[in-house]
């Protein structure tokens, strides 16, 4: 079992280092093949571990590889644990990674950074595995920062593009802001429990007072907010779409951004002790779900629309996790990984066909030339919208049920409304891309379907997006114990059925409306003249509520200006100038008094006399003072001085 664990963990690292050997050489297809094989090995090992745990019901595999840091009372090993939670994550990560690796062989076909791409991509998988498998917060933090680094390298993969490198830096720095919160959370855990191991820390949490636990919960959640792009740290995710599309599928949809959700689920023993923080998390999640969905309604960038939908779904996950329905959150995380990765890879096919065009208004009618992509994206969108019997129905509806059963009706309402929006914008996208007139012809593009093997690689995701729902029961039974999960039952059956059918009808209507509005022949490429484009709401949404603008104007620019001021004004003009000033005074004094040492005998004799007088008078004063010291003391003490 330990061997399996190490294979699952280190195969991606080997893959990354192998690919890295070829970074400076021209494209070699075998690099991609070997990398994919190694990631697949990791997937097989993870599956075997899953089988061992689920079928054999064996205890979690817990290994300690070696010491990392040990000083004072601090002891941090490289320890890894494979239990029900981490094995679920490992399955998701390795499965999607394998598919994305294979897909990338085709997608990055003509890119001269082909080998480098696989080095980064596999490094990402390794970091993600460290993140989910570590048995302590410090190990989690290694993976946490590691995925941030790889995300930086992959968003900025096409580093000749200013927008890409800018987005990469934005993502890194924004994540760093959140990581500070996470780091403080880790410090709090250490100084209050004396350990960073989950096991010991969770045990100690039971005895801590609520105030401390609340702080720990808040700071750890700040870390989660950055990685999972929750408001107000969400802007980097949409900009991260500058990276190659397989990266968006793997990192910015299926895995890395769910790390925050994973952290909350992993720390469930902490968060179930502080329901107030949980409620905050759930409320923020619900808010982000709606907030992100609203921005997706009007956007005209295919990848950004999917990115906002990711953001929105992350909100759902946090809503579930915050309400204590950790298993539901984890299940939605898994289901979402499948259909969202599928959606992104489909978008990648479209982009390839359309020569990197991203505006769906410039597409239309693509279903004729890209039949399989059309089918895949439609099914992925159905799953995302939560239509029975696709994956999203089971995972998302359970979140709604959980919110309802916990009597958080506001959260329920928001999430329900968002489900409608989700269906609308998803099918707006599908309708614009695949239906209606063939608007791309104006631009002289001749689209073509993706390579056959890319489609085959995507097929497991297609199947999972369709049938993941049947996994719900087994998943629940597997995870039941570790997450102290319970099923959410709405008391009356009538209510349940009304809810289920109502939701389905609502969502279906949203889909139909989207089709009606966008799948017709009258859609034109917007030119900014129509009334709706000039309405306030449209502009607000299109500009992402002006939040990026606000950050740019009120944070980035002032930071630059203050930095310049600190350098030019404070450091040079004040700090350094006073040093030079003091030196100047000393130098100047020397310069002035140099005349005394002119070597002229008469001048020097004069100064000698001055010196003699000064010395003599000093001697007289001190002599008198010594002689009459007693009476002086008396006088001074009389005056109250001494």
Partner 1 sequence: MLDHILSILIFFPAIAAVFGFMIQKDSIRAYGISVAAIEFGLSLWLWFAFDGNVSGMQFMENLPLVPSFGINYILGVDGISLFIIVLAAFFTMIGIASLTETPNEKNMIITLLFLQMTMVGVFAALDAIVFYVFWELSLVPMLYIIGAWGGPLRIYASIKFFLYTFAGSLVMLVGMLFMAYFFYQATGVWSFALLDWYRLILPETFQLWLFAAFFIGFAIKVPMFPFHTWLPYAHGQAPTIGSVILAAILLKMGTYAFIRFSLPLFPDASAAFMVPIAVIAIIMIIYTAMVAYAQKDVKQVVAYSSISHMGVIILGTFALNVEGITGSIFLMIAHGVVSGALFLLVGVIYDRRHTKLMSEFGGLAHVMPRYATIFGIMLMASVGMPLTINFVGEFLSLLGFYQQSHILTLLAGTAIIVGAIYMLSAYKKMFFGDVTKEENRNLPDINKRELVALIPLSIITIWLGIYPKPILEPINNSVEAVVQLMHNKAQTELAKERIPNLVKERVLVIKKTVIEEEVH
Cβ nearer to partner 1, comparing 156 with 420: 156
Does residue number 68 form part of the binding site for partner 1 (CB under 8 A)? yes
CB 107 → partner 1: shortest distance, Å?
22
Question: Nearest Cα to 239, choosing from 290, 338, 308?
Answer: 308
Q: How many CB atoms sit inside 10 A of residue 72's CB?
A: 5
Q: Alpha-carbon distance 511 to 504, whole Å?
A: 10
Cβ nearer to partner 1, comparing 565 with 612: 565
Question: Which of 21, 51, 59, 177 touches partner 1 (CB under 8 A)?
Answer: 177
CB 586 → partner 1: shortest distance, Å?
9
Question: Which of 18, 22, 187, 388 touches partner 1 (CB under 8 A)?
Answer: 187
β-strand partners of 61 = 82
Question: Nearest Cα to 48, choosing from 59, 56, 37?
Answer: 56
Cβ nearer to partner 1, comparing 91 with 149: 149
> Contacts with partner 1 in 523-562 (CB under 8 A)?
559-560, 562
Q: What one-character DSSP code corresponds to residue 595?
A: G
* Total count of residues recorded for the chain: 642
Cβ nearer to partner 1, comparing 120 with 318: 120
Q: Which stretch binds partner 1 (CB under 8 A): 63-71, 484-492, 604-612, 633-641?
A: 63-71
Strands 74-82 and 61-71, by their bridges, are antiparallel
Q: Which stretch binds partner 1 (CB under 8 A): 2-10, 66-74, 323-331, 382-390?
A: 66-74
Q: What angle do CA 199, 265, 90 make, to 5 degrees?
A: 85
Q: Alpha-carbon distance 100 to 34, whole Å?
A: 14
Q: Residue 139 corresponds to which tokens in the numbers above? A: 């190990």
Cβ nearer to partner 1, comparing 175 with 283: 175
Cβ nearer to partner 1, comparing 69 with 456: 69
Q: Which stretch binds partner 1 (CB under 8 A): 169-177, 505-513, 543-551, 612-620?
A: 169-177
Q: How many CB atoms sit inside 10 A of residue 211's CB?
A: 9
Cβ nearer to partner 1, comparing 30 with 559: 559
Kind plus residue range of the DSSP H or E element containing 74: strand 74-82
Q: Alpha-carbon distance 127 to 391, whole Å?
A: 27
> Contacts with partner 1 in 558-577 (CB under 8 A)?
559-560, 562-564, 566-568, 570-571, 575-576
Cβ nearer to partner 1, comparing 216 with 465: 216
Map residues 476-515 to x or -, x wherever contact with partner 1 holds by CB under 8 A.
Answer: ----------------------------------------
Distances (CA, A) of 205 to 172, 294, 318, 357, 626: 31, 39, 22, 52, 71
Question: Which of 3, 55, 56, 71 touches partner 1 (CB under 8 A)?
Answer: 71
CB 141 → partner 1: shortest distance, Å?
6
* CA dihedral (179, 181, 183, 189) positive or negative: negative
Does residue number 70 form part of the binding site for partner 1 (CB under 8 A)? yes
Q: Which stretch binds partner 1 (CB under 8 A): 61-69, 268-276, 297-305, 396-404?
A: 61-69
> Contacts with partner 1 in 414-453 (CB under 8 A)?
none
Does residue number 62 form part of the binding site for partner 1 (CB under 8 A)? no
Range list of H helices, 156-274: 162-193, 198-205, 210-227, 235-239, 245-249, 259-266, 268-271
Cβ nearer to partner 1, comparing 497 with 559: 559
Cβ nearer to partner 1, comparing 142 with 297: 142
* 280-283: Cβ within 8 A, 24+ apart: 280/322, 281/221, 281/318, 281/319, 281/321, 281/322, 282/318, 282/319, 282/320, 282/321, 282/322, 282/323, 282/403, 282/408, 282/411, 283/322, 283/411
Kind plus residue range of the DSSP H or E element containing 376: helix 371-385
Cβ nearer to partner 1, comparing 20 with 632: 20
β-strand partners of 80 = 63, 134
Map residues 128-167 to x or -, x wherever contact with partner 1 holds by CB under 8 A.
Answer: ----------x--xx--xx--x--x---x--xx-x--xx-
Question: Which of 21, 51, 59, 180 touches partner 1 (CB under 8 A)?
Answer: 180
How far separated are the first and last CA of the chain, in Å rounded? Answer: 83
Q: Residue 536 corresponds to which tokens in the numbers above? A: 């306030």
Distance of CA 443 to the CA centre of its chain: 36
Cβ nearer to partner 1, comparing 104 with 127: 127
Task: Identify whether the C-beta of residue 307 lies closer than 8 Å to the C-beta of residue 167.
Answer: no
CB 472 → partner 1: shortest distance, Å?
36
The contacts of residue 399 (CB under 8 Å, 6+ apart) are 316, 317, 319, 320, 325, 328, 329, 332, 415
Distance of CA 485 to the CA centre of its chain: 26
CB 73 → partner 1: shortest distance, Å?
8
Cβ nearer to partner 1, comparing 562 with 605: 562
Cβ nearer to partner 1, comparing 147 with 323: 147
Cβ nearer to partner 1, comparing 2 with 576: 576
Task: Identify whether the C-beta of residue 541 lies closer than 8 Å to the C-beta of residue 297.
Answer: yes
CB 457 → partner 1: shortest distance, Å?
29
Map residues 1-30 to x or -, x wherever contact with partner 1 holds by CB under 8 A.
Answer: ----------------------xx------
Cβ nearer to partner 1, comparing 34 with 184: 184
* 534-542: Cβ within 8 A, 24+ apart: 538/298, 541/294, 541/295, 541/297, 541/298, 541/299, 542/298, 542/299, 542/300
Question: Which of 579, 612, 614, 621 touches partner 1 (CB under 8 A)?
Answer: 579
Question: Which of 69, 604, 605, 635 touches partner 1 (CB under 8 A)?
Answer: 69
Q: How many residues bind partner 1 (CB under 8 A)?
A: 52
CB 235 → partner 1: shortest distance, Å?
16
CB 384 → partner 1: shortest distance, Å?
34
Q: What are phi and psi of 70, to 5 degrees?
A: -145, 115
Map residues 580-599 to x or -, x wherever contact with partner 1 holds by CB under 8 A.
Answer: ---x----------------
By the criterion CB under 8 A, which residues form the site for partner 1?
23-24, 66-74, 138, 141-142, 145-146, 149, 152, 156, 159-160, 162, 165-166, 169, 172-173, 176-177, 179-180, 183-184, 186-188, 190-191, 559-560, 562-564, 566-568, 570-571, 575-576, 579, 583
């Amino acid at each position: 079992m330990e061997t399996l664990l190490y294979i699952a963990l280190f195969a991606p690292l080997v893959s990354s280092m192998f690919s890295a050997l070829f970074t400076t050489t021209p494209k070699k297809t075998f690099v991609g093949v070997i990398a994919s094989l190694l990631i697949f090995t990791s997937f097989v090992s993870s599956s075997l571990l899953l089988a061992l745990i689920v079928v054999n019901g064996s205890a979690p595999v817990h290994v300690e590889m070696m010491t990392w840091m040990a000083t004072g009372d601090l002891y941090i090993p490289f320890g890894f644990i494979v239990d029900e939670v981490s094995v679920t994550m490992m399955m998701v990560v390795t499965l999607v990674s394998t598919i994305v690796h294979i897909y990338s062989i085709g997608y990055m076909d003509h890119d001269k950074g082909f080998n480098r791409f696989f080095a980064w991509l596999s490094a990402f998988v390794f970091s993600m595995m460290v993140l989910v498998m570590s048995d302590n917060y410090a190990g989690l933090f290694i993976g946490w920062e590691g995925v941030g680094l790889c995300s930086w390298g992959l968003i900025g993969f096409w580093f000749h593009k200013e927008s890409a490198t800018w987005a990469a830096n934005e993502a890194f720095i924004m994540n760093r802001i959140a990581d500070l919160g996470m780091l403080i959370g880790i410090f709090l855990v250490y100084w209050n429990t004396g350990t960073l191991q989950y096991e010991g820390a969770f045990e100690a949490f039971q005895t801590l007072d609520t105030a401390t636990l609340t702080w720990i919960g808040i700071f750890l959640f700040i870390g989660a907010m950055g990685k999972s792009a929750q408001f107000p740290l969400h802007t980097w995710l949409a900009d991260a779409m500058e990276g190659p599309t397989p990266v968006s599928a793997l990192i910015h949809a299926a895995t890395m951004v769910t790390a925050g959700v994973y952290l909350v689920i992993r720390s469930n023993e902490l968060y179930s002790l502080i329901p107030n923080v949980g409620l905050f998390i759930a409320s923020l999640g619900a808010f982000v779900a709606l907030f992100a969905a609203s921005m997706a309604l009007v956007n005209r960038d295919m990848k950004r629309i999917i990115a906002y939908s990711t953001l929105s779904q992350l909100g759902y996950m946090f809503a579930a996790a915050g309400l204590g329905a950790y298993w539901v959150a984890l299940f939605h995380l898994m289901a979402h990984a499948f259909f969202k990765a599928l959606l992104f890879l489909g978008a990648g096919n479209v982009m390839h066909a359309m020569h990197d065009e991203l505006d769906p208004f410039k597409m239309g009618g693509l279903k004729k030339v890209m039949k399989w992509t059309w089918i895949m994206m439609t099914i992925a969108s159905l799953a995302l919208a939560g239509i029975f019997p696709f994956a999203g129905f089971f995972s998302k509806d359970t979140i709604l049920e959980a919110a309802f059963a916990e009597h958080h009706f506001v959260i329920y309402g928001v999430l329900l409304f968002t489900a409608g929006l989700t269906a609308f914008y998803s099918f707006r996208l599908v309708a614009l891309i695949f239906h209606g007139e063939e608007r791309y012809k104006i631009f002289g593009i001749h689209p073509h379907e993706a390579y056959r093997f890319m489609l085959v690689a995507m097929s497991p995701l297609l199947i999972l997006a369709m049938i993941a729902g049947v996994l719900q029961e087994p998943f629940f039974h597997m995870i039941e114990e570790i997450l102290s999960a319970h099923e959410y039952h709405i008391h009356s059956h009538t209510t349940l059925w009304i809810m289920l059918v109502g939701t389905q009808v609502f969502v279906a209507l949203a889909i139909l409306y989207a089709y009606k509005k966008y799948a017709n022949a009258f859609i034109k490429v917007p030119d900014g003249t129509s009334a709706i484009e000039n309405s306030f709401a449209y502009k607000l949404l299109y500009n992402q509520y002006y939040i990026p603008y606000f950050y740019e104007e009120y944070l980035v620019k002032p930071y630059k200006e203050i930095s310049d001021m600190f350098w030019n004004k404070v450091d040079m003009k004040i700090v350094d100038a006073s040093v030079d000033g003091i030196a100047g005074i000393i130098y100047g004094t020397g310069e002035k008094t140099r005349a005394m040492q002119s070597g002229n005998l008469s001048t020097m004799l004069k100064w000698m006399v001055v010196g003699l007088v000064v010395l003599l008078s000093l001697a007289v004063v001190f002599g008198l003072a010594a002689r009459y010291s007693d009476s002086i003391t008396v006088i001074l003490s009389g005056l109250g001085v001494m």
